[in-house]
Structure 1
Amino acid sequence: MTAQDGFELFSVQGRTALVTGGARGVGALIAQALVEAGAEVYVTSRDVAAAEKTAARLSLFGDCFPLAADLATERGCRDLAESLGGRVDRLNLLVNNAGALHTAPLDDFDDAGWDTVLQVNLRAVFHLTRFLRPTLEAAARVGDPARVVNIGSIDGLRAPAAEIYSYAASKAAMHHLTLHLAGRLAPRIAVNALALGPFESAMSRDALADDIGRRSPLRRAGGLDDLAGVMRFLGSRSAAYLTGTVIPFDGGLSATR
């Protein structure tokens, strides 16, 4: 293999990606990593202004476009698939990143703490993937399937200390859904999940700084370069033989408890 072959093996240049919840936090980091690597990226948010602001910032590095989306309903997922379908004829990479979180003491954790979290973190992953299936399959090539990457959490692999019952349950279910969809959608679509630990973004930087230094075996939170590496791997030909996996991507935190 030549150096050029190796570069192309890990390249997402010219590929089309959709990052849900891509206007803020980890989603914005994922979108930036893909844009800087040469992908055409669409970012979604319920907040149209936020999506437009992020897309404008990332357009300084490459091709990035905003899409409004409310993924809390099946109709919202269908609308997003139709909106994207009006802009592109193929989708190489779907990143199901949009998420919701609710925290409350056990005795106060009622249906309101479950419904939106399950709708966004789990049902939207299912509905959006199935509605975008034709667009994903249009991008598939022999030996190089289209990709779905579900953004899970180490809180779905282990019981968290925080009282985030619906969030942890939704991420565990998403991990299992990843395996189920991988078997159903192969060979034209590969489906994997990243069980993320703490990542340093504009939303979380201050809160993470001290805590991660004490708890993480690698003594830091994840950052843009870490996401760039794993997303370029999962979205490129180098991961064409990988499907049905849940990858702990947490600096070793899940191995310490």
Structure 2
Amino acid sequence: MSDPSLFSLHGKRALITGASRGIGFTLAQGLGSFGAEIILNGRNAAHLDSARARLEAEGIATRGSVFDVTDQDQVLAGVEAIEKEGPIDILINNAGIQSRAPLDQFPRAEWDRLISTNLNAVFFVAQAVSRGMIARQSGKIVNICSVQSELARPGIAPYTATKGAVKMLTKGMATDWARHGLQINGLAPGYFETEMNAALVADPEFSSWLCKRTPAARWGKASELVGAAVFLSSEASSFVNGHILMVDGGLTASV
């Protein structure tokens, strides 16, 4: 029996962090095309204005919210301001960074920056948003994980540590908050053609290795994350909790 309303996001408001470009912007487009009102978050007002204009040109209801997800005070103030205009029904915790260096030479400052952006921010934003969701006994939180939540590779051990921690934080959030009507899950991209991976995409040796290592034999396209994000943000996933959904072309399924 067909029920397309299971995937409808009409009447829902979605906050997406790190949404001015890359995967965050693509997910904003995707959720918006399924009817959600999109709240774009980032630190750069000009970049958010540009992203907002692009979405509005596509007929997507959009607003911007400028705050630094690594600053808990800014997060609390930002979420409070959004909630005054209406509930946050969906949170996509997307903001993240990468930093590559040999582990024995990895700078402490870069370690702290990764932890702050990739892990602390996920906790800060989810905690702030969850309070309204718990009061309403309803809400969807999607934390962006990675194949590096499960697998390591040379030069990115600190990044891998953060994404592994986000996986377990996601499971912990589900354990604590599912009883309040929330669904908290992780979306774990494999290797996608994004700005953050531009150097790897341009590296023939790495691309050749990746295509041989991945059963689908190619890089992913950011648009291929939309279906999974809509599923985890919609009524279709009403009994899915603490799950990490891999979108990786089979990378983590094979050796």
Q: Give the alignment's TM-score, normalised by structure 2.
A: 0.90
On the 8 A contact 2:174/2:182 being kept in 1, the answer is: yes
Structure-1 residue corresponding to 2:36 = 39
Q: 1:149 aligns with which of 142, 159, 177?
A: 142
Q: 2:100 aligns with which of 90, 94, 103?
A: 103
Structure-2 residue corresponding to 1:208 = 201
Q: Which amino acid aligns with 1:155?
A: Q
Q: What 5-or-longer segments of structure 1 have no aligned partner?
A: none
State, as a whole percentage, how many aligned pairs show the same letter. 33
Matches within 5 A, 1:164-175: 164-175=156-167
Q: Which amino acid aligns with 2:243?
A: T
Alignment of 1:23 onto 2:15: no
Q: Give the alignment's TM-score, normalised by structure 1.
A: 0.89
- Give the deviation of 1:206 after TM superposition: 7.7
Partner secondary structure for residue 217 of structure 2 = coil
Q: Which amino acid aligns with 1:29?
A: T
1-structure distance, mates of 2:69, 2:197: 23
Partner secondary structure for residue 85 of structure 2 = coil
Structure-1 residue corresponding to 2:245 = 247
1-structure distance, mates of 2:235, 2:213: 35
Q: 1:193 aligns with which of 186, 194, 197?
A: 186
- Give the deviation of 1:148 after TM superposition: 0.4
Structure (1 or 2) with the greater helix fraction: 2
Q: What 5-or-longer segments of structure 2 have no aligned partner?
A: none
Alignment of 1:228 onto 2:226: yes
Report how many aligned residue pairs link the two structures: 248
Q: 1:177 aligns with which of 144, 165, 169?
A: 169
Q: Which amino acid aligns with 1:33?
A: G
The 1:23–1:238 alpha-carbon spacing in structure 2 relative to 1, beyond 3 Å, is same
- Give the deviation of 1:51 after TM superposition: 1.0
Q: Which amino acid aligns with 2:145?
A: G
Partner secondary structure for residue 186 of structure 1 = helix
On the 8 A contact 2:98/2:196 being kept in 1, the answer is: no
Report the more deviating stretch, 192-201 or 48-57: 192-201
